[in-house]
Every structure is written in structure tokens, then in C-alpha cells.
Amino acid sequence: MTLQSLPMIMTWSRVALIPVFLVCYYAPIEDARFWAGLAFMIAAITDWFDGYLARKLNVSSKLGAFLDPVADKLIVAAALIVVSVEYQNIWVTLSAIVIMMREISISALREWMAENNARDVVAVSSLGKIKTASQLAALTWLLYGGELWGVDWGTLGFPMLYFSAVLTVITWYQYGRAALPVMLETVSDETKKSS
């Protein structure tokens, strides 16, 4: 393993941690949910480090740029499904649905924008980074759901998830609004070509 391959290894490890946190969560062992939350937290940390290292080491690749968001969406979707089933709460479930809808649609939008040489128009914003951080924190806390260091992390997870869902809607709107001129121009160009 070389230093240059570390970002890609971290991305793949995030995918590999999906079955790990799921097995931990449902395992009939003591502190199963603690271990599940820890596995998810490690995956969340690699989400930040792999991109940072790729830029720092100047080893960004098309494959890495494609796999990184896919790995993010897979592990977040798995965690959202688990907490929705676990808590049986309408607000948790609605938040999960909104987050998954936004993640899938914005991923598709970014792919389409990249094909039209306009990927920078929907580059990740500061608010998008806050949304991701709050989402990962909420899911870690809800997966664990217990008390540690005198803090009830499960209880804190609910408002953090709702906060994340609000940011999800706001950033969904922002990215859509930023992309709209490019989309309209493309539709106009295609209409002219076909007429």
C-alpha cells in the first residue's frame, strides 16, 4: 500500500463498513449498538479524509470522484433505513425519505451537469458540508442510541436529524436553482437542433 493509494482504500473501506455496522447493530452481543455506531462513525470520518488526502496528495482520479459519493450514499441510505425501522417515528421516516430523495436526485443532477461541462455550477457548498456533517452525526447518535459520558446521544440524534433534513431541503433547492439556467439552455439548444 502506498500513500497515494490511501484515499481510494478509504473509499472502499467505507463500502466495506456497511455490512460491518449492520452486523454489529443486529448482533446478539453486549453493546451491539455501540459497536454499530462506532463502525458508522469511522466510515463517516473516512468520508472527510479520503477527499482531503486525494487533494493534498494530488492523486484525484475519475474513479475516485465517482466512487466517493456512491460510497457516501450507500452507507447513509443503509443507516437511514435502520433508524427508520428502529424508531418507528413518522418524523424520522419523513426525514429519511427526504434525505434519500435529495441525495439520489442531486447525484443524478451532478452527473448530468458534468456531461454538459457545468459540474462546477453544482459543486458542494459550505451549507452542503454542514448538512453532511449534521446528517452523519445524527445517524451515528441514533444508531448508538445510548448514554455515554453522561450524554443521551439517542435523544440528541432526533433534533440533529431534523436539522439535517431542513438543510437537505434548502441545499436541494439551491443546487436546483443554480442548475436551472444550464438545464433551460440545454433544452433550448436541443429544441433548436430538432426543429
Residue-wise pLDDT for 144-195, tens only, equals 887 888 878 888 999 999 999 999 999 988 888 888 888 788 777 666 676 5
Point out the least confidently predicted range of 4-8, 9-13, 136-140: 4-8
Residue at 75 is within a domain: yes
Q: How confident is the model over 106-153, as pLDDT tens digits? A: 888 888 777 777 767 777 778 888 998 899 999 999 998 878 888 788
User: Domain span at residue 37?
Assistant: 3-187
**Type of residue numbered 148:** L
In a domain, 29, yes or no: yes
Residue 178 lies in a domain: yes
Q: Identify whether 195 is part of a domain.
A: no
Q: 184 burial class (0-12, 13-18, 19+ CB within 10 angstroms)?
A: exposed
Distances (CA, A) of 163 to 91, 109, 134, 136, 187: 11, 23, 7, 12, 35
Residue matched to cell numbers 451515528:
140
In a domain, 18, yes or no: yes
Which CATH number covers residue 16? Answer: 1.20.120.1760
In 112-167, beta strands by DSSP E:
147-148, 151-152
80 neighbors 136 (Cβ within 8 angstroms):
no
Most trustworthy range by pLDDT among 2-11, 43-52, 54-63, 139-148 = 139-148
State CA 163 to chain mean position distance.
15
Number of separate domains in the chain: 1
Span of 4-13, 93-102, 130-139 with lowest mean pLDDT: 4-13
Quickly count: other Cβ atoms within 10 Å of residue 137's Cβ: 19
Q: Which residue has the higher pLDDT, 191 or 84?
A: 84
Please indicate, yes or no, if residue 192 is contained in any of the structural domains: no
Task: Decide if 193 is inside a domain.
Answer: no
Helices (H), 27-60: 32-56
Instruction: Read off the pTM.
Output: 0.81
pLDDT at 3 over 60: no
Greater model confidence, 37 or 63: 37
pLDDT of res. 190: 67
pLDDT band at 64 (very low <50, low <70, confident <90, very high): low
Dihedral sign (CA 16, 63, 119, 47): positive
Domain membership of residue 46 (yes or no) is yes
